[in-house]
Amino acid sequence: MNTLAINAYAKNEIDEAVSGASPHQLIIMLYEGAIRFISQAKGHIEAKRVGQKGECISKALGIIDLGLRAALDKSGGGEIAQNLDNLYIYMGNALLYANLEDDIARLEEVSKLLKDLKSAWEAIGKRAPIVALTEVQVKV
């Protein structure tokens, strides 16, 4: 199978998963995507593939900024939303420095934070459905 066919299949699978997902599941998918791109960036740093490292970090930054931060209800979310916003800003800055300095430790720190948040989000989802989230659109 050629690369174009594989990519088209993968994109179709992602599109179907996103279109059938609840807002809660979309947030989990955003966490998973950011974690995946950070992991790939670590591999690219180790292999000294600068361009690919930058692409992966850029995609993780986009997910955090345009997905997770954009989904926050800053007017009604109170202190929790503000704290998450600050944490996402911190993660974004850490990823920028990791990119500039090929700093795997910073990538691992952000990945751990995202994994912790994802776990908490999954635990919340098991207890009660999320009532309202803003619409999330991410181009990956």
Cα angle value 116/121/123 (rounded, 5°) = 95
Mean pLDDT to the nearest integer, 95-112: 98
Neighbours of 133 (CB within 10 A): 14
Q: Which CATH number fits domain 23-127: 3.30.70.260, 1.20.120.340, 3.40.250.10, 1.20.1250.20?
A: 1.20.120.340
pLDDT at 126: 74
Instruction: Tell me the whole-structure pTM to 2 decimals.
Output: 0.79
Q: Is the pLDDT of residue 3 over 50?
A: no
**Rounded Cα gap, residues 8 and 27, in angstroms:** 24
